[in-house]
Amino acid sequence: MTPTRALHDAGQSLWLDNLTRMMLDDGTLERLIAEHHVSGMTSNPTIFDKAVASGAYDAQIAELEARGLRDEEVFFELAASDLRRACRLFADVHRRTAGFDGFVSLEVSPELAYDTEASIAQAAELHELVGFPNLYIKIPGTPQGLAAIEETVFAGIPVNVTLLFSSEQHMAAADAYHRALERRIAAGLAPDVPSVASLFVSRWDVAVAQTAPPELRGRLGLAIGGRAYVAYRALLGSDRLRRLMNAGARPQRLLWASTGTKDPDASDTLYVDGLAAPCTVNTMPDATLRAYADHGVDPPVLLPRDGGDAEAVIAGFERSGEDVGALASRLQREGAEAFVKSWRSLLQTIQSERSALAGA
């Protein structure tokens, strides 16, 4: 049995944090599904930016020119074409798991992270544009995003809550999700609208790399994950969720995001080995997935129900002067800013490709 199969059998979904037309055209994604039990994927502007710059989308960009679309609209048309193909590849997983797995994610414009109404409108537009039931719309879990998440789920659209950095932010996102389901039940609507909540992990260790006590280096991200997992398990056993499930709802799954190791001195499977847990998702870059398939812990050591040494590690950072709560807020803010920067770079690349094609 391979490490990826063992992790899958332990109850965790393995998703790929990458989507490009090249990997669809050359069969890479199909092989990863077949060989490494990949059961879903997420996409992001940074990866797409590089793919557009390579010229892989020039033919479709040329076709779209006649429609007079804005650069943002061109991107969403390009992305929708890829996402439909990916949704078809994961359709069997989606059917086999009765709609619990087999999803592909597309995010609203990062520039809408603090605009509730615009996020709601664009989420609906994008879901209709792609037109597949196994599509998640990614909406940031910012204070303004929480209201957009609630309204989008109430409308029956599956949501991947992104940019979460702490258990508190995660619980706020879960509350918004549950409010939406309760409203659907009150309105006589089915509450089986799926969702995942994406907790970013590796950025914690990057943020404290220069200040962490030597004995705690590379341990904060996993500790934050451990704390979130304890709260998640409590949520799964809560009366509120049990009432929702009795009416036909499903739990919002916790998803580990940003799981590629950034420290060259740390294990390249650090955030996969350390966050193995049933009823969760780990979305990882290609390199991390292949590394885990090659030398991941087999069988996986599951994350303890009590979070292991998570609270002791966090307490160690607090004693060293780190305000973990303030850092979570800062990371969410900086994450939103980084997404906007990547987004604008992507749109600039699309504009450059359009200009080059027009000139040719």
Mean pLDDT, rounded, of the chain? 96
Question: 249-277 as b/e, with b when 16 or more CB fall inside 10 Å?
Answer: bbbbbbbbbbbbbeeeebbbbbbbbbbbb
Instruction: For residue range 83-98, list pLDDT tens digits in order.
Output: 999 999 999 999 999 9
**Residue range 272-294: mean pLDDT, rounded:** 97
Residue 360 has a pLDDT of: 66
Residue 50 a catalytic site member: no
By CB neighbour count within 10 A (0-12 exposed, 13-18 middle, 19+ buried), where does 286 fall? middle
Residue 358 has a pLDDT of: 81
Determine how many CB atoms are found less than 10 A away from the CB of residue 247.
Answer: 14
Residue 251 scores a pLDDT above 90? yes
- Helix, strand, coil % in the chain, rounded to nearest 5: 60, 10, 30
**Residue range 237-250: mean pLDDT, rounded:** 98
The catalytic residue among 50, 138, 262, 341 is: 138
Tokens read off for 167: 């258990």
Q: Which residues, in sequence order, are CB contacts of 242 under 8 Å at separation 6+?
A: none
Domains and CATH numbers, the chain: 3-359 (3.20.20.70)
Residue 240 scores a pLDDT above 80? yes
Q: Which of 50-54, 188-192, 262-266 has the lowest mean pLDDT?
A: 50-54
Instruction: For residue range 98-128, list pLDDT tens digits in order.
Output: 999 999 999 999 999 999 999 999 999 999 9
Instruction: For residue range 133-177, list pLDDT tens digits in order.
Output: 999 999 999 999 999 999 999 999 999 999 999 999 999 999 999
Taking only Cα atoms into account, the Rg of the chain, rounded to an integer number of angstroms, comes to 20
By CB neighbour count within 10 A (0-12 exposed, 13-18 middle, 19+ buried), where does 43 fall? buried
Residue 1 has a pLDDT of: 80
Residue 210 has a pLDDT of: 94
Determine how many CB atoms are found less than 10 A away from the CB of residue 76.
Answer: 20
**Residue range 234-251: mean pLDDT, rounded:** 98
Residue 43 has a pLDDT of: 86
Helices (H), 187-296: 202-207, 220-236, 239-246, 270-273, 286-295
- Is residue 44 very low, low, confident or very high in pLDDT (cuts 50, 70, 90)? confident
